[in-house]
Amino acid sequence: MNNILNQIGIENYIFLSVLLFCIGVFGVLYRRNAIIVLMSIEIMLNAVNLLFVAFSTYHQDAEGQIFVFFSMAVAAAEVAVGLAILVSIFRNLGSIDIDNLKNLKG
Amino acid sequence: METNLALLLLLSPFVGFLFNTFFGKKISKGIAGVIGTLTVLFSFLITICFFTQLIQSGKNFEISLFDWISVGNLQIDFGIVLDQLSLLWLLFVTGIGTLIHVYSISYMHEDENMAKFFAYLNLFIFFMITLVIGNNLLVMFIGWEGVGLCSYLLIGFWYKNQAYNDAAKKAFIMNRIGDLGFLIGIFILAAQFSTLNYSEIQLAIASGKVNTTALGIAALCLFIGATGKSAQMPLYTWLPDAMAGPTPVSALIHAATMVTAGIFMITRLNFLFDLTPEIQNVIAIVGVITAVLAASIGLLQNDIKKVLAYSTVSQLGLMFLALGMGAYTVAVFHVITHAFFKACLFLGSGSVIHALHGEQDMRNMGGLRKVMPVTFWTMLISTLAIAGIFPFAGFWSKDEILLAAFEHNKILWFLASVASIMTAFYMFRLMYLTFFREFRGTEEQRKHLHESPALITMPLVVLALLATIGGIINLPGSFWLNHYLEPVLATKHHAHSLGTQEFMLMGVALAGAIIGIVWAYAKYLKQGFVPKEDDAISGFNKIIYNKYYIDEVYTALVVSPINAISNFSRETIEPQLSKLIFSLGTAANAIGSQGRKLQNGNIGLYLFMFVLGICAIIIYLFIAQ
């Protein structure tokens, strides 16, 4: 495992992770399709997971990897619920453009 | 067996109360009345059983029903005691109670709420029995509060008349002032002795280690309680107003039973009051002042029931005088004879009011002697008894009070004698105005004049008989009551031997009563004087007629300031406060209406805010480190 880190270096993992996270953020901010918003959130989550794993290897400590399992499980549940809600919204409104979803106006 | 009987004695009127409360509307009025009467009669019969047993064996019956309150070292049981004193009280409470229930069946038969009336009367008897039967002060306090409640309910029984409601409230509030004193007295005793049981307190006092200052304060507080319940200065003003209630109520509660609760309590705690001679002096002085003051007010009242009410206050004053002199048996003796003749007088006045369809002003009566012979004769006997004419019951008991006063202090004796003369005067004034000369009412009333039915006259006859021979229980020479009560009194009250001085004093008392009667005879029968109209009264008479303006003084000193404070609070403080509270609400509302603009339902905006928040957190973390 150390070999991989020796070959590529921890900084590169951090840069990749930040890049992925920023892609996720901009996806959430700029796209109007709810499914793509959900996908962008997944990208952000995975950026964090990548960082977890990289540092776990770097510190020779398995805790980070265990956390990743948890966050993957939570993400899977979240996606399941989120998609179910989207399906229901689509059936009711015929659209999943988030600009149209204004029924929760206070 | 005895426990069950005692419980039956206590609960029988309560069963009557429950029955008349829940089924009163469904049964006819007569049945409601009969059931109400029977439950009380039942208690009376059980009391007689216990009484004969006590006379034969001389043994008290005391039992603790259950542990009631147990805090730290303070132990209070819910217990009952049937000893000489409580049985004596039970005898006349349930006995006279039964007679008055019988009377009420006829008196209230036209009232739509007759079942309710009997329910209240039964509840009253229940609480009165509780008051008397308890073996500690807290059980007595339950009864004490309960009879106050029933008194309130029954004074305001004809609730559609606002004046009657006000009278009921007045009685309740005045009683509450006294009750507070009573409660504080109980607290002090509980703190001193860690018990409220009478015999345990007596033991603790007898053992000697007591704080006399604390006991003095406790005795004074208890006496304040007694002034409230037994209508003494300065809390007596509720009793005359309490005449707003139906007449049987006045006879039962406001003459014979409830108002004697204060005397019962002080006699019960005689060992406590014996230790505090200063408080005894206060009791004697308050008693004699009340006796004279109330008797003088009674001289000029025109409402037949008001005269009797002031007479009751005055007689209660004499009883407190006796208590203050340590002559407990004499006070108890007068309580009993007074219960007989005053109940009879009230029931008689009720019979007159019944015949005149609610007329209570004696200026509109007169000449009823021929129409209502039974009422007349029974009332005459009771009047002779209350005036202290030989050989009626009142003579013996009042004479003993005067004797005790003469030995104690000549001024007290003189004032008590003055009160007795005035009593004789105003009572015969009442008789002459009501029963003699010509009828002064309307023609309509004259046509309907009638003697009352047997259910009304029967109790009158029984009570008049008792008022005649009631003195027998403590005749000089035998002094049965003195010996009977000896076990419950800490210090023995020595009976008077019959010497020259005693006979002389009896003669003086009798002469005083006759002076009063002759005075009334000359003024109201011979000259046929009829009291003037209200606005024609002037001078000192007007002051007396208006009861020395004591109600007005109380209004000025207590009621008006309280009203002023209430009005100030309502009109000034409350609007300011509510403005302040309201402005808080308005502010929250304004902030909220700005805040809800953020909740515009645009998910894009939410997400943007979300990212902005994360950025803020990250920036903060970088700066912080």
Residue B411 within a domain: yes
Q: Is residue B467 part of a domain?
A: yes
Across B310-319, B435-444, B588-597, least confident range: B435-444
Within 56-95 of A, beta carbons closer than 8 Å to B belong to none
On whether residue B195 sits in a domain, the answer given is no
Pick the last residue of a domain from B488, B505, B536: B536
B501, B536, B571 - which closes a domain: B536
Is the pTM above the cut of 0.95? no
Residue B597 distance to chain A (closest CA, Å): 7
Q: Residues with Cβ < 8 Å from B279, sequence gap 6 or more?
A: B216, B219, B220, B223, B273
- Which among B47, B69, B50, B68 is positioned nearest to B59, based on CA atoms? B50
| Domain stops at, among B486, B506, B536 | B536
The per-residue pLDDT for B158 is 86
Same domain, B389 and B418: yes
- CB < 8 Å to A101, chain B: 601, 603
B449 and B568 co-located in one domain: no
Q: Both B532 and B557 in a single domain?
A: no
CATH of the domain at A71: 1.10.287.3510
- Tell me the percentage of chain A whose pLDDT exceeds 90: 44
A84 pLDDT band (50/70/90 cuts)? very high
pLDDT tens for B298-321 read 888 888 888 889 999 999 999 999
pLDDT above 60: residue A1: no
| Together in a domain, B460 and B404 | yes
Tell me the pLDDT of chain B averaged across its residues.
85
Mean pLDDT of B150-177: 88
Domain count, chain B: 2
Chain A positions in Cβ-Cβ contact with residue B611 (cut-off 8 Å): 25, 28-29
For residue A106, is it within any domain? no
- The boundaries of the domain holding residue B587 are 553-624
> Is B453 domain-assigned?
yes
Contact between B603 and A103 using a beta-carbon 8 Å cutoff? no
State mean pLDDT over A28-55.
Answer: 90
**One domain, residues B527 and B560:** no
Could you tell me if residue B99 is inside a domain?
A: no
In a domain, A40, yes or no: yes
Q: Same domain for B562 and B528? A: no
Test A98 with B604 for CB contact under 8 angstroms: yes
Q: What's the confidence (pLDDT) of residue B492? A: 67
Within a domain: residue B216?
no
ipTM over 0.85: no
Q: What is the pLDDT of residue A72?
A: 92
Domain span including residue A91:
2-100
More confident residue, B524 or A15: A15
d(CA B354, CA B352): 5
What pLDDT, in 10s, does the model give residues A50-79?
A: 999 999 888 888 888 999 999 999 999 999
B518 to each of B14, B37, B73, B511, B512, how far by Cα in Å?
48, 41, 63, 10, 10
Residue A36 has pLDDT above 80, yes or no: yes
Higher-confidence residue: B624 or B536?
A: B624
DSSP assignments along B48-77, one per residue: HHHHHHHHHH---EEEEEEEEEEETTEEEE
The answer on pLDDT for B494 being more than 70 is no
Cis (ω within 30 of 0) for the bond into B391? yes
Q: Is the peptide bond before B234 cis (omega within 30 degrees of 0)?
A: yes
B471 with B513, same domain?
Answer: yes
Percent of chain B with pLDDT over 70: 98
**Which of B598, B601, B607 is facing A103, going by the closest CB pair?**
B601
Structural domain tally of chain A?
1
Of residues A29, A32, A101, nearest to B611 (C-beta): A29
Nearest to B603 among A25, A98, A106 (CB): A98
Query: Is residue A60 in a domain?
Result: yes
pLDDT at B264: 92
Count of A-B CB contacts under 8 Å: 33
- As a whole number of angstroms, the distance between CA B474 and CA B393 comes to 10
Per the CB < 8 A criterion, the answer to whether B280 and B124 are in contact is: no
